[in-house]
Amino acid sequence: MSKLLLGKPVADAMTEDLSLRVDALKAAGVTPVLAIVRVGERPDDLSYERGVTKRAQSVGVDVRPFVLDEDAGQEQLEAVIRQVNEDSSIHGCLMFRPLPAHLDEDAACALLAPEKDVDAISPAALAGVFADRQGAFAPSTAVACMKVLDHYGIDPAGKKVAVIGRSLVIGKPVAMLLLARNATVTICHSRTRDLAETVREAEIVICATGRARAYGADFFREGQTVVDVGINVDAEGKLCGDVDFESVENLVDAITPVPRGVGSVTSAVTVGHTVQAAERALV
Amino acid sequence: MSKLLLGKPVADAMTEDLSLRVDALKAAGVTPVLAIVRVGERPDDLSYERGVTKRAQSVGVDVRPFVLDEDAGQEQLEAVIRQVNEDSSIHGCLMFRPLPAHLDEDAACALLAPEKDVDAISPAALAGVFADRQGAFAPSTAVACMKVLDHYGIDPAGKKVAVIGRSLVIGKPVAMLLLARNATVTICHSRTRDLAETVREAEIVICATGRARAYGADFFREGQTVVDVGINVDAEGKLCGDVDFESVENLVDAITPVPRGVGSVTSAVTVGHTVQAAERALV
């Protein structure tokens, strides 16, 4: 039986630390505020909004939603982002993506003030992640993977790590975070030949392709740590990861389940970045 | 005997194409101009300046040097960059780095207009490389590696590539360019365990650590293509690469020599980016 790397203990430890830091901020007269910019009513967005709101409230961070109709125009959206940028009582901002196709997502992302960009959607934040610049926020899911490894004492330094997936939201940034921690990182993807063999060679595997139960026993071996970032819905409507958990759970050393794995940590990271932004604004 | 991947034929082919494009620009009343910002008189900078100036002149691109004393202040440097940004007759800008330690290099790089940033020193350009955004200029040396592979018909798609080195000037950006071309990229570095073994598994190897003759026969095997980005001076004052060329040249399938390899292509890439920037400004 593999060790289950549950997200809750990770998020709980973070929450405890964040509560203390929010208390200190409030004592200094500052309540951290996270703005959420949402266009339309996508179920995924609403679900994550509920999660992050609950997490924020549990540590004393206020959430301020800015909700636009699904057919809102670019000007409306940009006006909201400007309002967020200019309001000094707002410390962090999470904008749900993908935006509806009629909107210019790149332009909207580039508009967000880097110091409030707690999910690293702006070019400045992405450049910071790429350059390993101190202080840049990285995408919350990528940071959540690192928090899970750290919490369970799995040091990536010197280890072979395979990242499956090369998205800008998770695959590439988590590769950069792992590289900054001295892992030897191989970035794999749909065009990788001998994918199973390459993944089997790694000591830590990050699965981030959003393909339900795509990676089974032939991709893994004893001794590995597997971090499954996928959150997929299978044919029967059940949540599942990118890894075929049932065929792997007795094979590898440690694995994050889905649900109850990385996803439980992501909202704590977003809230944590907001607290950090508020602390920086205070200095 | 390995096939020698010489830089000159690559640069010559690029130069031929660039000459035609500059002719077209001149017919439309535009002479492409590359600004060079140099602080002090470092021999490396002067040597590259001579090379890029010669290359630029050979295709009809003008070079405008902006030279500051070694002890110039941040304000002076930023005034020069602003002047470059505002001058619509300047299309590209190359600023030599590292800057003297008393200057804030990050701030200076961030100031350069992205559309003139032909060597990708600004956060906007780096984010473009990281995000694989069309139209972003990547660092010239990283692009030069791709030009060499392309010229000699070596397609990285689906191949295992090892990049040794994780600098922002070459290792990380070339990894992103290779990834965008569907290579499976492993980024190796000083903390990589079993480096020789990892490198031997790759089909294409990019050496970019700046360690003279550090990689010998035990790192390589038959069937590999080796791109040596290092330009080092050995104990006897001779130029050499990161690869111990003599012990490898009969082992691998193909290798870029040093000198006469990638370095010969880099200046053509910088000039090429300048021409591209001028073409874009014309539209």
CATH of the domain at B247: 3.40.50.720
- pLDDT at position A277: 98
Whether A238 and A157 map to the same domain: the answer is yes
- Letter string b/e over residues A107-117, b meaning 16 or more CB atoms within 10 A of that residue's CB: ebbbbbbbbbb
- pLDDT at position B18: 98
Is 90 exceeded by the pLDDT of residue B283?
no
Whether A252 and A152 map to the same domain: the answer is yes
Q: Please report, for chain A, how many H helices and E strands are present, in that order.
A: 10, 11
Is 90 exceeded by the pLDDT of residue B135?
no
Residue A43: domain span = 29-114
- pLDDT at position B214: 96
Of A126, A184, A188, the CB nearest to B130: A126
CATH of the domain at A37: 3.40.50.10860
Q: Which residues of A touch B (CB under 8 A)?
A: 106, 123-124, 126-131, 133, 157-160, 166, 168, 172, 175-176, 179, 182, 184-189, 191-193, 198
For residue A121, CA distances in Å to A57, A70, A136, A169 come to 24, 20, 11, 8
Q: What is the mean pLDDT of chain B?
A: 96
Question: Quick check: is B273 in a domain?
Answer: no
- Cα nearest neighbour of B127 on chain A: A127
- pLDDT at position A62: 98
- pLDDT at position B140: 97
Whether A46 and A85 map to the same domain: the answer is yes
Q: What angle do CA A187, B273, B38 make, to 5 degrees?
A: 100
Could you report the per-residue pLDDT of B85-133, keeping only the tens digit for each? 999 999 999 999 999 999 999 999 999 999 999 999 999 999 999 999 9
Instruction: Tell me the mean pLDDT in the region B20-45.
Output: 97
Could you report the per-residue pLDDT of A124-161, keeping only the tens digit for each? 999 999 999 988 899 999 999 999 999 999 999 999 99
Pairing type for strands A232-233 and A239-240 reads antiparallel
Question: Quick check: is A104 in a domain?
Answer: yes
Tens digit of pLDDT per residue, chain A (283 long)? Answer: 799 999 999 999 999 999 999 999 999 999 999 999 999 999 989 999 999 999 999 999 999 999 999 999 999 999 999 999 999 999 999 999 999 999 999 999 999 999 999 999 999 999 999 999 988 899 999 999 999 999 999 999 999 999 999 999 999 999 999 999 999 999 999 999 999 999 999 999 999 999 999 999 999 999 999 999 999 998 899 999 999 999 999 999 999 999 999 999 999 999 999 999 999 998 7
Q: Testing the interface with B: which of A106, A155, A179, A200 to mutate, by most B Cβ within 10 A? A: A179
Q: Testing the interface with B: which of A115, A130, A132 to mutate, by most B Cβ within 10 A? A: A130
Burial of B20 by CB count in 10 Å (0-12 exposed, 13-18 middle, 19+ buried)? Answer: exposed
Whether B54 and B98 map to the same domain: the answer is yes
Whether B74 and B163 map to the same domain: the answer is no
Whether A150 and A253 map to the same domain: the answer is yes
Whether B53 and B109 map to the same domain: the answer is yes
Residue A16 CA to residue A25 CA, distance in Å, equals 15
- Cα nearest neighbour of B191 on chain A: A158
Pairing type for strands B232-233 and B239-240 reads antiparallel
Residue B81 neighbours by CB under 8 Å, 6+ apart: B37, B93, B95, B108, B111, B112
- pLDDT at position B58: 97
Of B124, B191, B192, the CB nearest to A123: B124
How many other β-carbons are positioned within 10 Å of the β-carbon of residue B68? 18
Task: Say whether the peptide bond before residue A123 is cis (omega within 30 degrees of 0).
Answer: no
Question: Quick check: is B213 in a domain?
Answer: yes
Residue A187 and residue B184: Cβ atoms within 8 Å?
Answer: yes
Contact between A154 and A138 under an 8 Å Cβ cutoff? The reply is no
- pLDDT at position A200: 98
Residue A193 and residue B184: Cβ atoms within 8 Å?
Answer: yes
Whether B109 and B146 map to the same domain: the answer is no
Residue B6: what are its φ and ψ, rounded to 5°?
Answer: -75, 145
Task: Say whether the peptide bond before residue A43 is cis (omega within 30 degrees of 0).
Answer: no
Of B179, B184, B193, the CB nearest to A158: B193
Residue B214 CA to residue B242 CA, distance in Å, equals 5
Tell me the nearest-neighbour CA distance from A193 into chain B, angstroms: 6
Residue B46 CA to residue B49 CA, distance in Å, equals 5
- pLDDT at position A135: 82
Is 90 exceeded by the pLDDT of residue B205?
yes
Whether A144 and A259 map to the same domain: the answer is yes
Contact between B28 and B282 under an 8 Å Cβ cutoff? The reply is yes
Question: Quick check: is B235 in a domain?
Answer: yes
Of A130, A176, A186, the CB nearest to B186: A186
DSSP A71: T
Tell me the nearest-neighbour CA distance from B61 into chain A, angstroms: 30
Q: pLDDT-based confidence at B1, cuts 50/70/90?
A: confident
Question: Quick check: is B104 in a domain?
Answer: yes
Q: What is the DSSP string of A151-205?
A: HTT---TT-EEEEE---TTTHHHHHHHHHHTT-EEEEE-TT-TTHHHHHHH-SEE
Could you report the per-residue pLDDT of B14-23, keeping only the tens digit for each? 999 999 999 9
Q: What is the DSSP string of B31-75?
A: --EEEEEEES--HHHHHHHHHHHHHHHHHT-EEEEEEE-TT--HH
Whether B66 and B162 map to the same domain: the answer is no
Of B124, B130, B186, the CB nearest to A185: B186
- Which of A175, A195, A191 shows the shortest CA–CA distance to A183? A175
Question: Quick check: is B237 in a domain?
Answer: yes
Q: pLDDT-based confidence at B134, cuts 50/70/90?
A: confident
Residue keyed to tokens 């330009």: B231
- pLDDT at position B208: 97
Whether A87 and A166 map to the same domain: the answer is no
**Domain tally for chain B?**
2
Tell me the nearest-neighbour CA distance from A8 into chain B, angstroms: 31
Q: Which residues of A touch B115 (CB under 8 A)?
A: none
Residue B94 CA to residue B73 CA, distance in Å, equals 19
Question: Quick check: is B121 in a domain?
Answer: no
How many other β-carbons are positioned within 10 Å of the β-carbon of residue B199? 23
0.85 surpassed by complex ipTM: yes
